[in-house]
Amino acid sequence: MTTISVPLTPDLEKFIKNMVKNGRANNKADAVRKALLQLAENEAVDAVLRAERELAQGLGMRGDLRELAKKI
């Protein structure tokens, strides 16, 4: 596992501390990992919805379905 250092705004730091305090994360690192996983899931869903819109518009699907499946 890799460790990175990321400067945070005071508001983000407070948000992370509240996640831990409220039991939504085990620690600060867990809170950040959960946030990144949520972002990855959101991007995968957005890609599927975009593809559905393109299909509905008759544009066909573009891109690599295997790569999309990896994101999901």
The DSSP letter of residue 22 is T
**Structure-model confidence comparison of residues 72 and 26, the more confident one:** 26
pLDDT range class, residue 4, cuts 50, 70, 90: very high
Residues 66-71: what's their mean pLDDT?
Answer: 76
Task: Report residue 72's pLDDT band, with 50, 70 and 90 as the boundaries.
Answer: low
pLDDT over threshold 70, residue 13: yes
Are 11 and 38 contacting, i.e. CB atoms less than 8 angstroms apart? no
What is the rounded CA–CA span in Å between residue 16 and residue 14? 5
3-state helix/strand/coil string of the chain: CCCCCCCCCHHHHHHHHHHHHCCCCCCHHHHHHHHHHHHHHHHHHHHHHHHHHHHHCCCCCCCCHHHHHHHC
For 25-49, write each residue's pLDDT tens digit: 999 999 999 999 999 999 999 988 9
